[in-house]
Structure 1
Amino acid sequence: MNDERIARSWLMLALGTGGQTAATTALYGTPFLVPAFQQELGLSLAAAGVLVSCPIAGILLGLIGWGAVADRYGEKKALAAGLLAAAGAMAGAAAVHGVGATGVLLVLTGAAGSSGHSASGRLVIGWFPPDRRGIAMGVRQASQPLGTGMAAAALPPLAHHAGLSAAFGLCAVLCGAAGLAVALFAVDPPRPDRPAGVRSPAPYRGGYLWRLHGAAAVLCVPQFVVTGFSLLFLTGARGWSPAAAGGVLAAANLAGAGVRLLAGWWSDRVGGRIRPMRLLAAATAANLALLTAGAAWDSPVGTAALLLAAGLTVSTNGLHNTAVAEYAGPHWAGRALGMHGMGQHAAVVLVPPLAGALIAGRGYTPAFALAAVFPVLAVALLPAADRVAHWPAPRARSGARPAGVAR
């Protein structure tokens, strides 16, 4: 890669990461508004969990469609349109006051913001060579703990002092600014032409992608248990103030971003994604077992394990997304990533209300114990080894063109 292409690849990485960080704040920031949902809207914990699930339900509606848009028309159009639409939906949520209207607008936010799951991943994979994709996707996937950390630090005190409208308004501003930046500065990566009338075969023969989809889906369950109820655990079970808990969780999520970077770097060094995923999944199971024990005996170990879980439960996200996009190739990655994300969100859409009901009835110990089972399932589901990637390194050539540009 020449200097100009390298500089452009890092700019695209910054835009993709920034866009996904803004979307994450809106899509996954609702767990930090559970106390506000209970106080301002008068909801029970289980009912507040339903509102937390609304953006996830919206993501399920939009993922594959946005993936097809990215494959057909390019990453820039899909990502910019989704972020700007999410900004509009969050602005609407800031303006309404009813539970039903808020839920509908949160669903629309999820459907619009889900463009980032397919489009920003394509944008990064398309501009980086295979031996740098792990660290590049680690940076891009760091957007989730970064966005979650931003939500943990900003949304609880903002909602406490200025109400839910102010918290939703901040999310709208972030999504709108990121969408405008993508629209102005993003460039789709080059991809090779296909002969007229020839379609690339779907990359779903055999079980490789299906096993990746399944492993990623079950790994999301403990992630959402920890993210969804860590604030309540620290404030309710450990007696922390909301501000202190939000600040510490923000720091823990920033550490989680660093864990993703290290996981990506590790996968580039070993030349594969599957072995690091398997080891990290096993470490996550052990950490959650420690969290269960710490919660059962009211030990400080539980608090420490919870903060460690904020990083470990998200450590594999960049690895499995990279593996899926590389194997699917430049003409199918958007739809494959959409299917990948759809499986993950289908697995967790009921986690907040069900985990909320379990915690309300039985406490945190059985919820954490159940969450520890899922990383063990992921270890069993993962493929035995990496398959040959179908997405070559980006390079200038006469047969390459940006997506969505006619010749």
Structure 2
Amino acid sequence: MTSVDRATWGPAAGFVGEDLGVAVAGLGLFATTYYIGYVVSNLFGGFLADWLGGRLIVGLSILLSGSFMLAFGESTSKDMGLVFQACVGLFAGAEFGGGVRLIANWFRPEKRGTAMGIFMTATSLGLVIANAVVPSLIQQSSWRTSYHLFGFISVGLGVLCLIFLRGGKRQAEPQEKTRPQIMPLLRNRNLLMLGLAGFGALWGTYGFVTWSNLLMTKGIGISPVQAGVVVVIFGSAAIFSKPLIGFVSDAIKMTRRNLTIIILLAFSATLVAFSMASNSVQFLWIAPLLGIAAYIYSPIMLAMIPTLAGEKLAGSAAGGINAFWQLGSTIVPTVIGMIFGATSSFQLAFLALAAGPLLAVIPMLAIRPANTTSGKNVPVAATEPAR
């Protein structure tokens, strides 16, 4: 539901702008304010999950973000909308670190690829649900209805998580509430390189999620419903591919680092291909390939984090790294909005998106095995055979 809440903006953006009097170039600021809040809560959410437990953080995260979805649906001005968007992101981001902490508790390292693949299916499923439901709700009612609907569902789910969600069997939820020590994470070179790589990858993914609907309608001239179908296919292709790539990464001998590099190159190439399309039929052909490439790097990269950081700091590491990853999501909406506003070029906007995953390959190449005190290399999730 945090992913549904985030993805609702894409198909609703143009209608929100018309209602609140915001120009097309200024709509990217709404997405940017969301991601600013999201980055901040990622920084603290994982830390709090390691300290107070994943169940509490996950439950409160979705409950409070849903509450501000309801508030955004009542916005009557640009400034009010920006504040509520920032608050939705501020609480939604804490869920990520809490979820990773719980998964690290439940699964051994060699099984985490599959587990993270299932967990990360949420981002794609949320995109599909939002683009399948929101355009129809807007046609039948208004953009406010979609924010009210998803807000109520999110609040209810938050309550259910607080009641029913439990810790883990491999490592119990923290009982003494000892504050985690995060300095070792800041000195971990491999984690820093993984953060840089994720920044570039998410630049492409969430730039597409945020702007694809509007760019296809304004830049190419296809209808909002046709654009929604393209994005639904984009997200649907990733729903089943994420668990599959997680299983593959656990089973094959290729290192997770090398597998990620291949995916990032494919992602950049499909964004370039999408930039050259000029009608809905071409978009529909490219969308499933782009959807697979735009998402399947995430469970592999995520599965690398607990082993690189250690299970006791899994939440803090995941939250901190995802916060840095999301800086790409924070910056890209405004940048792409400025590019399209200045040039009105659909192709140039998507070429700018393609640069993100292409450059992300460089820090991935810099990830190396960690060294033990004896000086021998020991395999880590980033470079060991995936199984």
Tell me which interval the TM-score lies in, with the shorter structure as reference length: 0.7 to 0.9
CA RMSD of aligned residues (A): 2.6
Classify 1:198/1:376 alpha carbon distance in 2 versus 1 (closer, same or farther; 3 Å): closer
Unaligned runs of 5+ in 1: 1-21, 391-407
Which residue matches 1:73?
52
| Structure 1 residue identity aligned to 2:236 | L
* Total equivalences in the alignment: 367
CA contact (8 A) 2:47 2:180 kept: no
Give matches, 1:159-198, under 5 Å.
159-189=138-168, 190-191=170-171
Q: 1:292 corresponds to which residue? A: 275
The TM-score normalised by the length of structure 1 is 0.83
Q: CA deviation at 1:255?
A: 1.0
Query: Are 1:333 and 2:306 counterparts?
Result: no
Is 1:321 equivalent to 2:302 in the alignment? yes
CA 1:38–1:61 in structure 2 vs 1: closer, same or farther (change >3 Å)?
same
Tell me which residue corresponds to 2:286: 305
Query: Counterpart in 2 of 1:405?
Result: none
Say which of 105, 110, 115 aligns to 2:89. Answer: 110
Partner of 1:13: none
> CA offsets, 1:285-332, max 9 Å, x none?
22122223335xx69545533453233112211111121123212221
TM-score, with structure 2 as normaliser: 0.87
After TM superposition, give the deviation of residue 95 of structure 1 in Å.
2.6
Amino acid at match of 1:275: N
1:368 and 2:347 equivalent? no
- Which stretch shifts more, 197-206 or 351-360? 197-206
State the partner residue of 1:218: 200
The separation in 2 between residues aligned to 1:147 and 1:325, in whole angstroms, is: 25
SS at match of 1:332: helix
Contact 2:200 2:328 in 1 (8 A): yes
1:281 maps to what in 2? 264
Which one is further off, 61-70 or 243-252?
Answer: 243-252
Match of 1:250 among 232, 244, 259: 232
Letter in 1 for 2:271: L
Counterpart of 1:331 in 2: which secondary structure?
Answer: helix
| 2:112 counterpart residue number | 133
When residues 292 and 164 of structure 1 are mapped into structure 2, their CA distance, relative to the original with a 3 A threshold, is: closer
Distance 2:101 2:114 in 1: 15
Distance 2:292 2:159 in 1: 30
Contact 1:63/1:117 (8 A) holds in 2:
yes
Q: CA deviation at 1:72?
A: 0.6
1-side partners of 2:68 and 2:146: how far apart?
13
Do residues 30 (structure 1) and 9 (structure 2) align?
A: yes
The sequence identity of aligned pairs, in percent, is 20
Unaligned 5+ runs, structure 2: 371-378, 382-387
Aligned partners of 2:37 and 2:86 also within 8 Å: yes
Partners of 2:78 and 2:176 in 1: how far apart? 52
Q: Are residues 248 and 364 of structure 1, via their aligned partners in 2, closer, same or farther at CA, if it must alter by over 3 Å? A: closer
